[in-house]
Structure 1
């Protein structure tokens, strides 16, 4: 019998607490309170970054540059496109790399010390030029940058975004390519509050994506 009484008393206490028995505020007071987001408000605020400087700040290879040096130049450009941010970029390909169609190799680039390997395949010379060579280059993983994500969000939501909240995206970090990363952002529009329901950020070879 005692166990039943304790059970009833506990249930009654829980019921009263759920009804707001200790608050002392009326329903009208609660109605006037500002509603909170149903989800999680992220800690990192991203404001609009400055425009990305023109990539022409890096000079093209000299006229007598080797095929490897020309390829390294193109991979530095691709790495910058992926990061969408300023930073130290290097590239390294085999010095004796031939421009023969069908040749495959692995090159390496770094962005702020983060290394990415690229699978490179040399293609044919285009019909309109005997001195040009086509190639394909696929990175084995991606790079996300805080400024790159901010540029994406302020570009996509231009005119309507007030700011963005994210979960502490580093200045630069390696991330899976073309799939959800562990980083998420919540775009806060002008005149609105954070939704509390952020969307994932993804790394691609042409820059970050938000969906």
Structure 2
């Protein structure tokens, strides 16, 4: 009889162990169905101070060549893409025909980061023969920490307390008009960060967050 009792106890213990496993499995399922948590982004972005100088200096002189004037305009466009002050350079071919439809390639830099501009010259405006219109397309864009700060605080003005981003550097090259690897969350006054963030994009008008 002792042997049978041990056998019965053994069977019961196995069944209980099986029930215990099922109970734990059910608990795991309930955890798996809970909504995922979002990590709070590590980089705090505070309100930027002052207004950035987005005009290169000095401007071309009265006797500047078409190439020199074009270089100045591309430096200005590059600063606008960055939406932040910084050292710029630009180099275009020395001799450029002012004929409408002429195409040239120029190279600009912002804080040492190179952007290639494909330029097509247009017609001279009727009010002056000293100016030539042009269309310029960059091969890539710029994202700057300061530029992101300015667009966020400009968009949300008095409702934003601070912003959190994922380690945006002072300046970095990025493809134009697409989601970059960077993102930011705006934290309103009196609110706590949630970890839900919007992607940062490089555009010709400066960084954008949407």
Global fold match (TM > 0.5): yes
Q: Please name the residue that 2:57 is paired with.
A: 58
Q: Please name the residue that 1:207 is paired with.
A: 206
SS of alignment partner, residue 71 of structure 1: helix
Q: CA deviation at 1:98?
A: 1.7
* Alpha-carbon contact 1:52-1:84 (below 8 Å) kept: no
Q: Please name the residue that 1:193 is paired with.
A: 192
Q: CA deviation at 1:16?
A: 6.6
Q: Please name the residue that 2:39 is paired with.
A: 40
Q: Please name the residue that 2:149 is paired with.
A: 150
1:105–1:17 CA distance, 2 compared to 1 (3 A): closer
Q: Please name the residue that 1:173 is paired with.
A: 172
Q: CA deviation at 1:210?
A: 1.1
> Could you tell me how far apart the structure 1 residues matched to 2:118 and 2:14 are?
70
Q: Please name the residue that 2:3 is paired with.
A: none
Q: In structure 1, list runs of 5 or more residues that go unmatched.
A: 20-36
Q: Please name the residue that 1:98 is paired with.
A: 97
Structure with higher Rg: it is 2
Q: TM-score, normalised by structure 1?
A: 0.85
> Could you tell me how far apart the structure 2 residues matched to 1:106 and 1:160 are?
44
1:5–1:79 CA distance, 2 compared to 1 (3 A): same
Superposition map of 1:100-179 within 5 A: 100-179=99-178
The superposition leaves residues 38-76 of structure 1 with CA deviations (integer Å, 9 ceiling, x where unpaired) of 422100000011123344561210111111000000000
Q: In structure 2, list runs of 5 or more residues that go unmatched.
A: 1-10, 31-35
The superposition leaves residues 83-126 of structure 1 with CA deviations (integer Å, 9 ceiling, x where unpaired) of 01121111111111222110001111111111111110000001
> Could you tell me how far apart the structure 1 residues matched to 2:41 and 2:107 are?
34
Aligned residue pairs: how many? 195
The match for 2:23 among 12, 33, 36 is 12
